[in-house]
Amino acid sequence: MAETQLLDGKTILVTGGTGSFGHQFIRYVLEHYQPKKIIVYSRDEYKQFVMSNESPYREYSKVMRFFIGDVRDKERLERAMEGVDYVVHAAALKQVPACEYNPAEAIKTNVHGAMNVIDASLDQNVKKVVALSTDKAVNPVNLYGGTKLVSDKLFIAANAYAGDKDISFSIVRYGNVAGSRGSVIPFFRNLLAKGETELPITDYRMTRFWISLEEGVKLVIKALEESAGGETFISRIPSFYVKDLAEALQPGIATKETGIRPGEKLHEVMVTAEDAPNTLEFEKNYIVYPQMIFHERQQAAFEAAKKIGRPVEDGFVYSSGTNSQWLSVDEIRTLLATVEEH
């Protein structure tokens, strides 16, 4: 049964719809709503071919559309967005080393791509646009984070160009998804599968947030439902020590400290002290409201939210290192049993 009617009868375009997030989001929408059309927008025909033949997409072939296109190509985006109600922008280059080594490519996809998604959404009268961000966009120390910071700023400022149009742009920010490609869980699991007897840990003090892909999807749905424009939606999720993850994967496993890598942080941050004056805390999430307000509806949304949410303390920082919720080794082990690798 549908939770609300939000996406029923609507056309939704997902840039990067063949990626990990895209799969989980589209499956969720097909299970909970009756959309008119879901458009997957990405470059690789093979990934689209495989997806179109998989369940549940195969059974929903009347709803699913597969568009080959690059977010760098504005004309193609304009065509793909004709008649689209909602856009979820998930396409990105997101591997830190690849972005460091190919900086211009990261800028073309993550920054120029974001500008094209904004322009095409404005021109085609899309109603809501939600762009995915990452903790790496906060106080960035690598180019991936830098490009996503610029992308976030572009989406927040895009609300200024809406004029009288009924369109809003907002952001969902989350940290490393448990089990996502290239992340620490599959990395450790592969080493253990190969028979390694010692796991490398860059720094024993290192912490991360733990979020499942499903929690990320639900936050995007919430942003589609509630955003008035310019908000950054952030899940309240637990932290864990990377060394505890090793212990949870294999009790008693030996570990070796290998030193922090270039572009790596000891702790990830999702809300900075500078954001704190505009941040409200809710039961399951934080919302950072925009510092520059372009429409009355944005101010009205902030005022209405203040009646439900609690302002965070002055100087508050939402960091994986100072989080109030922590996972024990046993809790990590329980969660690991539910982690699918994507």
For 131, the token pair is: 């762009």
Does the annotation count 136 as an active-site position? yes
- In the list 32, 43, 205, 295, the residue contacting ligand NAP (rule: CB under 6 A) is 43
CA distance 20 to 176: 12
Of 285, 289, 39, residue with least CA distance to 159: 289
Strand partners for 171: 131, 232
Residue nearest to ligand NAP (CB): 19
- In the list 35, 113, 230, 290, the residue contacting ligand NAP (rule: CB under 6 A) is 113
Inter-residue contact 266 to 202 (CB < 8 Å): no
- Catalytic residue, candidates 74, 136, 148, 222: 136
Rounded (10°) angle between helices 242-249 and 184-193: 40
- Closer by beta carbon to ligand NAP, 177 or else 199: 177
CA-to-CA separations, 285 to 4, 14, 119, 150, 214, in angstroms, rounded: 20, 23, 29, 23, 14
Of 37-45, 58-66, 191-199, 313-321, the window that binds ligand NAP (rule: CB under 6 A) is 37-45
Site map (CB under 6 A) of ligand NAP, residues 261-280, x = contact: --------------------
CA distance 339 to 342: 9
Enumerate helices (H) and strands (E) in the chain, giving the number of each. 12, 16
Interaction residues for ligand NAP, span 89-108 (CB under 6 A) = 90-92, 94
Of 41-49, 187-195, 302-310, 329-337, the window that binds ligand NAP (rule: CB under 6 A) is 41-49
- Closer by beta carbon to ligand NAP, 35 or else 179: 179
Number of residues that bind ligand NAP (CB under 6 A): 28
Side-chain-facing half-sphere of 149: CA atoms under 13 Å: 15
Site map (CB under 6 A) of ligand NAP, residues 122-161, x = contact: ----------x-x-------------x-------------
Inter-residue contact 254 to 197 (CB < 8 Å): yes
Interaction residues for ligand NAP, span 183-242 (CB under 6 A) = 183
- In the list 11, 12, 13, 18, the residue contacting ligand NAP (rule: CB under 6 A) is 18
Of 20-28, 115-123, 229-237, 327-335, the window that binds ligand NAP (rule: CB under 6 A) is 20-28
DSSP-based three-state secondary structure for 264: coil
Site map (CB under 6 A) of ligand NAP, residues 60-89, x = contact: ----------xxx-----------------
Shortest reach from residue 210's CB to ligand NAP, in Å: 11
b/e 254-270 (16+ beta carbons within 10 angstroms → b): eeeeeeeeebebebbbb
**Tokens 């120390």 found at:** 141
For 18, the token pair is: 């063949």
Q: Contact positions toward ligand NAP, by CB under 6 A?
A: 15-16, 18-22, 42-44, 47, 70-72, 90-92, 94, 109, 113, 132, 134, 148, 174, 176-177, 180, 183
* Catalytically active residues, by annotation: 136
